[in-house]
Amino acid sequence: DTAVSQTPKYLVTQMGNDKSIKCEQNLGHDTMYWYKQDSKKFLKIMFSYNNKELIINETVPNRFSPKSPDKAHLNLHINSLELGDSAVYFCASSPGTSGNTIYFGEGSWLTVV
C-alpha cells in the first residue's frame, strides 16, 4: 500500500500542451504539498493545502493550478507547458503544518519537448 501515490510517473509532452498530475494519500494527513525538483536536484515548495484550503502559494506562474477536492487528494494542472517546466514533481503530505514529517510520493517525471 503506497502511502502517497501520484500518477503518472512519467510524462512526455509537447510545448503548449496542458497536463495534470494526480496525487492521493491514504495516511489521513491534513496537509498536502507539491514540490518541484529541477535538474540540479533543488527541492522547492510550490503549493501547500491544509484541509483543502490553500495555505502556501510560492512564486509559481499562473499556468500552475492546484486543486484539492478533499484532504486526501491534491492534483496539479499545468497549462501551456514550457520547456522550463521539465522537472520531477513530488506530491507530499504531513499530519499538519507545524513541524511535522513530510512524506513524499514517488515523483512524476515531466519532460516537455
Partner 1 sequence: GENVEQHPSTLSVQEGDSAVIKCTYSDSASNYFPWYKQELGKRPQLIIDIRSNVGEKKDQRIAVTLNKTAKHFSLHITETQPEDSAVYFCAAFSGGDDKIIFGKGTRLHILP
Residues in contact with partner 1 by the rule CB under 8 A: 40-45, 48, 55-56, 90, 97-107
Nearer to partner 1 by Cβ, of 18 and 30: the residue is 30
Sheet holding 64-70, edge to edge: 4-7, 19-25, 73-78, 64-70
3-state helix, strand, coil in the chain (%, to 5): 5, 55, 40
Q: Distance between CA atoms of 4 and 106, rounded to whole angstroms?
A: 8
Could you tell me the smallest distance in angstroms from the CB atom of residue 16 to partner 1?
28
Could you tell me the smallest distance in angstroms from the CB atom of residue 52 to partner 1?
17
Nearer to partner 1 by Cβ, of 65 and 97: the residue is 97
Nearer to partner 1 by Cβ, of 73 and 107: the residue is 107
Helix (H, G, I), strand (E, B) or coil at 85: helix
Could you tell me the smallest distance in angstroms from the CB atom of residue 5 to partner 1?
11
